[in-house]
Amino acid sequence: MNAFAQRRLRNLALTGMSAGILIAINQLYDMSLRDAAFMNGWVLFAGMVFLSLFNLRKKLNVLPLVPAGAWLQMHIYVGGLCSLLFLLHSEFVLPNGTFETILWLLFVVVVVSGFTGLLLSRILPPRMDARGERVIFERIPFLRAQVARQVQELAMRSVQETRASTIADFYVKELAPYLYRPRNFLGNLVGSHRAERRLHVAIQALERYLDERGRAILGEIDALITAKANLDYQYALQLVLKLWLFFHLPLNYSLMLFSVLHIVIVYAFSAGAP
């Protein structure tokens, strides 16, 4: 068993034990004629505060705090515990008040987005590694422009060297729209390469109209098309890896604010529930 598996097993065991303890405490607390929602609510809120501190920790990278990787691990497992606490707190029923429904939806969206991000971060990187070159997300526009420029140059050169406009015409008609912007976003997410294959088929069909030099240029273009398709693939997957945070983070702060008001309301109108 490697270190990663050991770490995962250890963390899962700790999380499971914590969940068991939380459930037991919740039950014992409820048995004591108290309202367990107060107890598990405060624990849940504390967990949410801890989870929110992860973002702060990433911003304060100069401080000698626990490494961000360890924070991330704690963030994941505490997030799981908070989900359990949320179920206990909401007593496994859907809310039916306006405010509580908003609060419930916020929590659900934050949790679902978080687990979605976790899932994506486990699924997508291997897929990106399995296909072509891994590129830095911020460099993709630059590289895409670079590929487009190279294909354009090849098309121009083919006119000079082959004395024919076959490749140039093909470039203008088919390749230029494909090269100058990201393409096949959804297809890339689901692993479909149909658009890329269609271009390759078209390129192969063009070969019979070219001479030797023309076919050499067309081969280079074909390679660049493959590179562009890989860039699109990397772009789609990396963008998704970044986009889930657009839900997770902003809504988390909304959730914290709504939670504070929830606490105020609960304590104001607890009706004497112990």
Partner 1 sequence: MSAPRLQNFDFRSSTYERPSQTWVCGRSSTGCPCERGPDQRGRCRTTTECQPRRSGDGWACNRPAAAGGACSQGPLEDGRCCRTVPPCMPVRSLRSRRGLTTVWATLLSLAALFVIFGGSMNAQLLHPGPMIKGHAEIQNCASCHVAFEGGPLHWLAASLRPSDPLADSSKCLACHNKTKDALNPHNLGKPKLDQLTEIAATQHADTSAPWTVDASRFAFPLARDAADGPLACAACHEDHHGEWANMMQVANARCQSCHTVTFEAFSSGHPGFGSYPYLRRTRISFDHDSHNRKHFPEEAKKGTRVPETCDTCHEPDSSGHLMVTTRFEQACASCHGKDITGDTVAGVKGVPVIALPELDVDTIAERGLWIGEWPEDAIAPKISPFTKLLLAADPTTADDLKVVDELDLLDLSDANDGQLAAVGRVVWGIKELLYDIATSGMGILQTRVEASLNHSLDTDTVGRLIGHIPQDVIVAAARVWFSRLSSDVVRFRSQKAAGVTPGVIHGDSGSDKLSDQQLLQLDDDQIDPGDELLQLDEAGQPSGDVKVRAKKAAAAEPEPEAEPAAAPEPEAAETAAEPAEPAEPAAEDTAGDEAPAEPAAAGEPPRPVARPATGDLAAAAATDLETIVDPEEWAEAGGWFRKDFTLYYRPVEHEDSFVRTWLDIGANAFGTPAEHYGEALFAMLNDKNTPGRCTKCHSVDRQPGGALMVNWQPFQPKSTEVPFTNFVHDAHFSALEDKGCVACHQLSPGAKYQDSYQGQDPTKFVSNFAPMQRELCAECHVQSSAGDNCTMCHQYHIGDFTQATMSTKMAALDQPATAGAAPAPAAPAADANAPPAADVPAAADAPATALPAAPGVAIAEAPWFERLPQMLASMLQWLAPGVSHELERPDLPQMAPDAAPPDPAPRADAGS
- Closer to partner 1 at the Cβ: 162 or 252? 252
Minimum Å gap between C-beta 106 and partner 1 is 9
Judged by CB under 8 A, the number of residues near partner 1 is 71
| 263 contacts 216 by C-beta, under 8 angstroms | no
Closest to partner 1 by CB, 162 vs 259, is 259
Q: Which positions from 118 through 147 interact with partner 1, judged by CB under 8 A?
A: 132-133, 135-139, 141-147
Q: Which residue, among 87, 126, 137, has the nearest Cα to 108 in the 3D structure?
A: 87
Q: Minimum distance from CB of 8 to partner 1 (Å)?
A: 28
What is the CA angle 75-48-55, rounded to 5? 55
Q: Between 22 and 51, how does the x/- string for binding to partner 1 read (CB under 8 A)?
A: ---x-xxxxxxxxx--xx--xx--x-----
Phi, psi of 198 (to 5 degrees): -60, -40
CB of 165 to partner 1, least distance (A): 22
Shortest distance, position 164 Cβ to partner 1, whole Å:
21
Q: Helix (H, G, I), strand (E, B), or coil: what is residue 225?
A: helix
Contact 29, 23 (CB under 8 A): no
Measured from the CB atom, the residue of 11 and 200 that comes closer to partner 1 is 200
Which residues 46-75 are close enough to bind partner 1 by CB under 8 A? 46
Helix 212-243 × helix 140-162 angle, to 10°: 170
Residue of the chain from 77, 157, 220, 240 that contacts partner 1 (CB under 8 A):
220
Q: Which is nearer to partner 1, 163 or 181 (CB)?
A: 181
Residues 6+ apart with CB under 8 A from 246: none
Rounded to a whole number of angstroms, the minimum distance from the CB of residue 268 to partner 1 is 4
Question: Does residue number 257 form part of the binding site for partner 1 (CB under 8 A)?
Answer: yes
